[in-house]
Structure formats: structure tokens, C-alpha cells
Amino acid sequence: MLKPAVHPALMSNPDTITAVKGFRDVLPDETRRWRLLDEAAARVFGRYGFEEIGLPIVERTELFARSIGDTTDIVEKEMYSFADRDGTSLTLRPEATAGVVRAYLESGLAQRDPTARLYYRGPMFRRERPQRGRYRQFHQIGVEAFGREDPLVDAELLVMLTRYLDDVGARDTRLELNSVGDAVCRPVYRERLRAFGTARLAELCPDCHRRLERNPLRILDCKVESCRRVVASAPVVLDSLCDGCRAHLDAVRALLEQESVPYTMNPRLVRGLDYYTRTAFEVVGATLGAQNAVGGGGRYDGLVAALGGPDVSGIGFALGVERLAMVVPAEVGAEIPPAVAVLPLAPEAVGPAFGLATRLRDAGLSVALEPAGRSVKALLRAADRRRARVAFILGEDELRAGRATIRDLVRHEDRRQALALDAPSAVLAETVRSMLGGDA
């Protein structure tokens, strides 16, 4: 279970409204880390020709039913679906690939730029049982590359993924790779799996009985313990690959090996979604416990056509931001830009203090402006809470002389330097930067 994050002072108050179970706030210590993850995505994915696409959070339910598949856990039990006022069934997106494909078709990109490379980021919604690393609203950064079937693209994406993980300093992750076959060999494998499961029916859960009929591949990611035991000795798709899929996989592997990208083959890796073909992969975090998938993806050569588009292939991946944040070192995003405090001692100092703060901010500095009328000690404590490293103090003496006193709050020395209150932005900024010694 998730630890209740409610402050004890609120728990006892019956009027308190808390967040919905599985939905969490992302506080500044975490958003700062997330921003770096976002910036790295723009930087690294940009080198591979990916541009960002913004998508709606709500789509027609049908989009997910058709793309993800009626027999998946997501569509069967995890979607937040509701009827709009006109009766249309809408769903909070559980993932973004279907939305990207819809946009690719609807916007005409499929004709204008059939090999479009797009990345997205944002919240996804699945009504799973909340636990550490698993939430009902979570966030993904993901990419999709359309219109190319050649193994070069698979390899480019995998190299890009490892470069991204390196760039953000992700630790203790490994890349697992598999091929799940295509329209030629997957049906053969499906039948092998069905025959295998049917022979062990008594050991499988009722859900898996249904899966065996409708979509036997689903038994591979059943979470019931007895099913997992059975599945451990199930035939693997890798042994059923047709020549085309085998050659494709070999080519991807050769390119990865050429660039010394570390990965392990995992013949049991099947992705939870129905539309995957050939290349499937996952990034696993060794330190994450039960919810150890940091990200995953693969090829989906039949999806665009299944959503009414041309027969265009696609490949992509999605990283879970909450989990990514757990595998990057604590220092990432820990640093807060140094701030400057402007501390008016007397009420008359408010106007000049406001002007000073505005000009410092115009010069690009982060300024904490405190209210007037408190003691120097109280003001300095407030400046400290704001993590200010330099303070401008405006007391009566300073006002009379038209000069601020500047105090170095880091060295805790009374290094004072008088400065005209109406000094231009550039002069103020230069003074602060010289005191911060290149940190600003």
C-alpha cells in the first residue's frame, strides 16, 4: 500500500479533502528532477530527429479498445472511461502510442511525412492497485518512429535509449531484448502456446482459461503465482520465429554489438499490449523491487493499419518518469539556483526594495522579497529559508544614503558593500555574481 502522505495535522480534521487514491502530487524537489529528465529527452531525442508532439489526455474509448486490444488487462479493467454528456464513451489515456498514431493519421502527417519521428511526455491513467512505483496517474516520456521496417531504426532507437539513460545518469538498469514474431510466425507460436496451456489447464487460473481461448499470449504476463510457475516452462516465441523475423533480429543485434550497447536476450519478454511485432524490449531497474520496469517498447507494424491508416510500420518506447526518477542519482535536480534576498527593514523601504528586486530579476537573478517591519535577525532567517546566498538590506541608514548594504550569507561574514539603490540591473547583477563567485 501507499503510505498515507497526509500531514498528521490534517488527518484529524474531518473537513480535509485529500487526493484520490493512486493519484499523487509531484512536489518541487521532484519536479526539479523531472525537468532535467524532460530537457535531456529534448536534447538526446533531438539528435535522432525526434520532435515533440502534444496530445489530448482524453480520447474516444474505442481508440484504446481497438489498438491495445480487448483482452488486455488495461482495456478489461484498468481504464478510466466515462460517458460524455452526449453519450460518447471517453477514456483518460492509459498510454500514448494509440493517440500518437491517431494524430499521425488525422493530421495528414502519414502522407506529408510518413517517416515522422515524434516524442511526447505527460500523464497516463490506469486503475491498477497502487504500490511503490505504481500509481493510477503516472507519467511517461515516449517516442514513436513511423514508416520504417528496417532494423537500422530498431537499433537507432535502442542506442538512443541507452544514451538517454546515460545522459540522465540512470544507475543499475539493464536492457532486455526479444522478438515477438510477426503475422507469419506469431500465429504458429500462439497455437503452440494454446496447446501447451490446454494440456496444463488445471493449473491455470480462470482468467487464463479465457485468455487461452481469446489470446493465449496473455497467459505469459499473468500475475497469479500458479500461472507463473506453469508459464516458466512454456515454449518461447524466439524458437518459433520465421526466417524474416530471425534475420531482422540478427541485424538489430549486430548493430547493437557493433556499438557495444550492453543488452541481454530475454526470450520470455512479451509486451503487455497486443499490437507489438518483432522487436520488443524493456529497461529493467535492478534496485526497484516488484515494479522494476523503467520503460519498454517495441515494433508495432500492424497498428497504423488497424486504426484505419495505410500499412505503415512503427516502433517506439515509453519510459515511466516516476521510476526513472528512482534510478537517477539523488544529486540530479537537487541543486537549487542561488537566490538573492531583498530585505526591507523599515516600512519606507518597501518601494525601493521592490524596485531593487525587480531590477535584479530583470537581470536574470532569482529574488526573494520579504515584507518589511521585522528585525534584521528575522529577515535573515527568512532569507536563509529561501536559500538566499546574498542579501540586500535596506534600513533607515541605507535609505538616507540611497545605498543598500549587501551581505554575504554563505560565508557568514559581514562582508558589506554599499551600492546605490537605483543602480542599473547590469551593475546590480555584476555585484551579486562577483559575490557568488561564478555560481550564479
Contact residues for ligand AMP, defined by CB under 6 A: 95, 126, 128, 133-135, 138, 140, 272, 293-296, 318, 320, 322-323
State the minimum distance, in angstroms, from the CB of residue 297 to ligand AMP.
7
State the minimum distance, in angstroms, from the CB of residue 288 to ligand AMP.
9
State the minimum distance, in angstroms, from the CB of residue 126 to ligand AMP.
5
**Cα–Cα dist 153/141, whole Å:** 19
Output 136 or 359, the one with its CB closest to ligand AMP: 136
State the minimum distance, in angstroms, from the CB of residue 24 to ligand AMP.
10
Q: How many CB atoms lie within 10 A of CB 332?
A: 16
C-alpha to C-alpha distances, 413 to 309, 388, 409, 416, 437, nearest whole angstrom: 69, 14, 7, 9, 15
Whose CA is closest to 190, among 253, 144, 234? 234
Q: What is the DSSP string of 298-326?
A: EE-TTHHHHTTS-S--EEEEEEEHHHHHH
Grid coordinates of 241: 520465429
Backbone angles phi, psi at 269, to 5 degrees: -75, 110
State the minimum distance, in angstroms, from the CB of residue 393 to ligand AMP.
47
State the minimum distance, in angstroms, from the CB of residue 412 to ligand AMP.
43
State the minimum distance, in angstroms, from the CB of residue 128 to ligand AMP.
5
Output 94 or 338, the one with its CB closest to ligand AMP: 94
The closest residue (CB) to ligand AMP is 320
Query: Cα angle vertex 251, ends 170, 241, to 5°?
Result: 100
Output 294 or 440, the one with its CB closest to ligand AMP: 294
State the minimum distance, in angstroms, from the CB of residue 116 to ligand AMP.
20
Contacts with 123 (C-beta within 8 Å, 6 or more apart), sequence order:
57, 137, 138, 139
Output 278 or 323, the one with its CB closest to ligand AMP: 323
State the minimum distance, in angstroms, from the CB of residue 130 to ligand AMP.
8
Q: How many CB atoms lie within 10 A of CB 351?
A: 14
Output 95 or 149, the one with its CB closest to ligand AMP: 95
Output 53 or 393, the one with its CB closest to ligand AMP: 53
Output 137 or 431, the one with its CB closest to ligand AMP: 137
Output 282 or 370, the one with its CB closest to ligand AMP: 282
**Cα–Cα dist 47/429, whole Å:** 35
Whose CA is closest to 100, among 60, 140, 146? 146
DSSP H or E run through 90 = strand 89-92
Whose CA is closest to 296, among 278, 314, 270? 270
Backbone angles phi, psi at 141, to 5 degrees: -115, 125
Output 114 or 272, the one with its CB closest to ligand AMP: 272
Backbone angles phi, psi at 375, to 5 degrees: -70, 160
